[in-house]
A = this chain, B = another copy of it.
């Protein structure tokens, strides 16, 4: 379960890469679910796509520096790099989250129904 693409360091976050990463409804949906700063495992996401497709999107977010991934046992925990994004692109993430919230962008991605 080794990850290939490393996390880009804060100072090397690229605006166009972040914009591209956030130009997909599924990925926006994931980011919205991560907006509460809590860590989630990949499996917690209930998305209408194949497992491998979700993995691909999470890799895209990671490669762009939007999220940070941590492996623990056989699980992958992912969280939003909110502070890093804010440091490099002030206001950007908040604007996207607010707009996405109002427009219900990525609403098809939810958290697994938990007991």
Contact = CB atoms under 8 A, between A and B. Distances in A.
Interface residues of A, number: 24
A91 interface: yes
A19 B95 contact: no
Interface of A: 14-17, 19-20, 22-25, 28, 88-92, 94-96, 98-100, 103, 105
A90 B22 CA distance: 16
A104 B3 CA distance: 31
Contacts of A105: 15-16
B96 A90 contact: no
A24 B28 contact: no
A30 to B, nearest CB: 13
